[in-house]
Amino acid sequence: MGDVLRRHGHRVVIAVDRMWQEKLTSLGFEVYLTDLGDPTIQNPGEYWANFARDTLSKVRQPTIMQLEALVNPAIHAVIEETKRYQQQMRLILDQVQPNVVIQDNAACLPILLTNGVPFVRVVSCNPLEIPGPNVPPTFSGLPQDDHSEWDQFRNEYERVIRPMWEDFNSWVQQHGLPPLPDLQFNCESKYANIYIYPQEADYTENRPSVRRGIESTPVKGLYGDQLKLPNTMYGEANLPQTKVLPLVDLVITHGGNNTVTESLHFGKPMILLPICWDQHDNAQRMHEKGFGVRLDTYQFTDEDLLVAVDTLLKDTALRDRMALLGEQIRGRDGVRLAADIIERVGYENLI
């Protein structure tokens, strides 16, 4: 979206923490730092590789147990980070004087909604970040058509998350915002809300009240030099995923929102091995929509994986359906549509 807006002649400024600075400046964006951050963190890949290493025992737990072991401390960290960013973001806004402010973050930053500049909210991480009574609980990975465990998960979410939410809700009100929606850490924009998920995989039949917005390979990871691949495989610590995906017939992924939406964008069936966060929700959704196969990340056998690969590759009807789906998604040109929405908000609210 930023690149499209830049090509339209707009000044695009991205405010991020230090670990994203190098990547964004290499792409030619003007970057402001929201926080000094941890200078020892070199890049997002290193950060998340260390995160995966340090939380390995926790991500093996059932999702309901991950709420206390993993989700709670992570949300707490996001909240503390958000509070630190409040003052720095105020300074950035004063310096940049933007016409539109866009936020894609797990928790709202009050200054972005109270400074008088039109505010656009983007939801790109997890489609179930927008909750509803007829969709599975966020982070649960539970099936859409079996509600038997929904209440148990929601009750545990309430127990674990509510004290932290109440504290954050009080804090945002102290900084000029109205109360947040119950147990949510963000609020809607009155200008525009951009929701990034292909409609073919969305929950619209179960959550029709959502205000729809935009729809929009082998990577060895940071420790890739420690992996030995056979001659029939290729991998690097980092690969340009959107360049690789069009070339493959099948994607094996943990189910993160980026890879899932990009695989759908290119019409590729998936095998999903979720670990944490949105991955459980996406893996279940792809499985029940028939766009791939979800396997038990820590219990599947070699035979399970081989059968899944063989089944998906031989399913010509599925491959044809996925190819058509990809054409439909690409034809919508969601990035351009999102940029158009942001551009329109700016033009309609020029002072």
CA distance 337 to 6: 14
Residues 6 or more apart in contact with residue 315 via CB below 8 angstroms:
269
The full 3-state SS of the chain, as one line of letters, equals CHHHHHHCCCCCEEEECHHHHHHHHHCCCEEEECCCCCCCCCCHHHHHHHHHHHCHHHHCCCHHHHHHHHHHHHHHHHHHHHHHHHHHHHHHHHHHCCCCEEECCCCCCHHHHHCCCCEEEEECCCHHHCCCCCCCCCCCCCCCCCCCCHHHHHHHHHHHHHHHHHHHHHHHHHCCCCCCCCCCCCCCCCCEEEEECCHHHCCCCCCCCCCCCECCCCCCCCCHHHCCCCCCCCCCCCCCHHHHHHHCCCEEECCCHHHHHHHHHCCCCEEECCCCCHHHHHHHHHHHHCCEEECCCCCCCHHHHHHHHHHHHHCHHHHHHHHHHHHHHHHHCHHHHHHHHHHHHHHHCCC
CA distance 35 to 94: 16
C-alpha to C-alpha distances, 257 to 110, 198, 231, 277, 306, nearest whole angstrom? 26, 11, 30, 10, 24
- The angle formed by the CA atoms of residues 252, 257 and 261, to the nearest 5 degrees, is 75
User: Tell me, what's the pLDDT at 233?
Assistant: 73
> Are the C-beta atoms of 206 and 137 separated by less than 8 Å?
no
Residue 192, burial from CB neighbour count under 10 angstroms (0-12, 13-18, 19+): buried
> Are the C-beta atoms of 99 and 117 separated by less than 8 Å?
yes
> Are the C-beta atoms of 130 and 195 separated by less than 8 Å?
yes
User: Tell me, what's the pLDDT at 218?
Assistant: 43
Residue 16's region, left for phi above 0, alpha for psi from -120 to 50, else beta, is: beta
CA distance 104 to 338: 13
CA distance 289 to 265: 15
Structural domains of the chain ordered from first start: 2-214+333-348 (3.40.50.2000), 224-332 (3.40.50.2000)
User: Tell me, what's the pLDDT at 193?
Assistant: 87
Name the maximum alpha-carbon separation found in the chain. 63
Instruction: Kindly give the confidence (pLDDT) of every residue in the chain, 351 residues in length, as a single tens digit, with 9 standing for 90 and above.
Output: 888 889 888 999 999 888 788 888 898 999 998 875 555 555 655 665 666 677 777 778 899 999 998 899 889 988 998 998 888 899 999 999 999 999 988 899 999 999 999 999 998 877 888 888 889 999 999 999 999 999 999 999 999 999 999 999 999 999 999 999 999 999 888 888 888 777 788 877 776 544 433 333 344 444 555 666 666 677 776 778 888 899 899 999 999 888 998 999 999 999 999 988 789 999 999 999 999 999 998 888 888 998 999 899 889 999 999 999 999 999 888 888 888 888 888 888 775
CB contact burial 29-51 (16+ within 10 A = b; e otherwise): bebbebeebeeeeeeebbbebee
Q: Whole-model pTM?
A: 0.69
User: Tell me, what's the pLDDT at 210?
Assistant: 43
CA distance 129 to 197: 12
CB contact burial 271-289 (16+ within 10 A = b; e otherwise): bbbbbbbbbbbbbbbbbee
Distance of CA 142 to the CA centre of its chain: 18
